[in-house]
């Protein structure tokens, strides 16, 4: 305000003007405090009303700071944080899944609760017709050497594409305990679905080994680490559950007869009917799976024919 205009004001108006000027007067002490604590941001400039200088001050300071940044270290720290976060997420997720209560599913295969872990199965001492066999079961890692080769070779020779053959081989090596020969697994798959992973039967059986959903989810809940996807149409997971089902059936019959061939026949028949269903079919389940008067014997023959093991399992 000019001096001429100020002289025209009354004393009362001058008092009011002086009061308003005092209210808007900037404190030097506050400005110094802002400079001391927030000087790098130029806040004291904005406080004093020097907005343009404050922006220029910030820009200058920011350009200096950016110039001093070691971007290679920033990138390395970022990558490290990403890996640590991913590891922590996986750890927490696994802990939660391990503590989740299992959901009860009805399943015809309630014949064995023995988890497929590292065990040693000792067969009876050698006789004229049997040999002592020690089978070391390792489900946490694939078998090596000649054990993994035959099933993959069988599958590829049967015209199965390499990707599916590899999935079936992985299921056999990770989920199998050695009691079921690979030929039998191939024979069951060929009989049940003809290697069609999308097959669905009129009874609701699904996947390459034609498992009922209750049976499949029974095993996914029993052994969650073997089934990361819990997808019944996934070749690996369907075959894994089918192999576990066959192994449970084998364990149910292994004390029924000393003949391994008969145990395998009963195991194959149980895949169609269930262990209890086969027992209910005849007073002599062994005869039922070999006698043409029973339809289950046709299923057993078909599996063994596909597997090419009619002679080897006699």
Helix (H) / strand (E) containing 260: helix 260-273
Write the pLDDT tens digit of every residue in 230-286: 999 999 999 999 999 999 999 999 998 889 999 999 999 999 999 999 999 888 899
pTM equals 0.54
Helix (H) / strand (E) containing 222: helix 213-222
Q: Among residues 223, 141, 183, 204, which one has the least CA distance to residue 305? A: 183
- From the CB of residue 38, how many other CB atoms can be counted at a distance below 10 Å? 13
Buried b / exposed e along 121-153 (16+ C-beta atoms within 10 A): eeeeeeeeeeeeeeeebbbeeebeeeebeebbe
- Residues 6 or more apart whose CB falls under 8 angstroms from that of 167 comprise 234, 235, 236, 239
Write the pLDDT tens digit of every residue in 46-84: 666 666 766 676 666 666 666 666 667 778 888 888 988
Q: Reduce the DSSP state of residue 170 to 3 states and report it.
A: helix
Quick one: average pLDDT of 150-172? 89
Write the pLDDT tens digit of every residue in 80-134: 889 888 888 888 876 664 444 433 333 343 333 334 333 333 333 444 333 333 3
Counting Cβ atoms within 10 Å, is residue 104 exposed (0-12), middle (13-18) or buried (19+)?
Answer: exposed
pLDDT given at position 292 = 87
Residue 152 pLDDT class (50, 70, 90 cuts): confident
């Amino acid at each position: 305000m000019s001096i001429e205009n100020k002289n025209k004001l009354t004393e009362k108006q001058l008092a009011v003007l002086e009061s308003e000027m005092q209210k808007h007067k900037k404190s030097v002490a506050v400005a110094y405090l802002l400079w001391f604590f927030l000087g790098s941001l130029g806040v004291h400039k904005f406080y004093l009303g020097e907005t343009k200088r404050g922006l220029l001050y910030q820009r200058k300071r920011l350009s200096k700071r950016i110039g001093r940044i070691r971007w290679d270290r920033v990138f390395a720290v970022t990558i490290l944080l990403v890996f640590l976060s991913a590891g922590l997420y996986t750890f927490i997720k696994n802990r939660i899944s391990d503590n989740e209560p299992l959901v009860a599913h009805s399943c015809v295969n309630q014949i064995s609760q023995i988890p497929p872990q590292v065990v040693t199965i000792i067969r009876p001492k050698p006789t004229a017709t049997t040999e002592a066999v020690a089978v070391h079961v390792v489900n946490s890692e694939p078998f090596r050497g000649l054990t993994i080769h035959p099933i993959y070779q069988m599958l590829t020779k049967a015209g199965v594409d390499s990707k599916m053959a590899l999935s079936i081989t992985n299921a056999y090596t990770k989920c199998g305990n050695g009691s079921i020969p690979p030929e039998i697994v191939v024979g069951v798959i060929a009989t049940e679905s003809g290697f069609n992973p999308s097959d669905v039967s009129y009874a609701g059986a699904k996947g390459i080994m034609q498992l009922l959903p209750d049976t499949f989810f029974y095993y996914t809940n029993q052994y969650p680490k073997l089934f990361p996807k819990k997808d019944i149409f996934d070749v690996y997971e369907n075959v894994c559950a089918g192999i576990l089902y066959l192994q449970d059936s084998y364990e149910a019959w292994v004390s029924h007869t000393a003949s391994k061939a008969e145990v395998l026949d009963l195991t194959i028949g149980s895949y169609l009917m269930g262990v209890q269903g086969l027992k209910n079919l005849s007073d002599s389940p062994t005869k039922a799976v070999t006698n043409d008067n029973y339809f289950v014997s046709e299923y057993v023959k078909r599996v063994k024919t596909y597997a090419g093991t009619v002679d080897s399992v006699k």
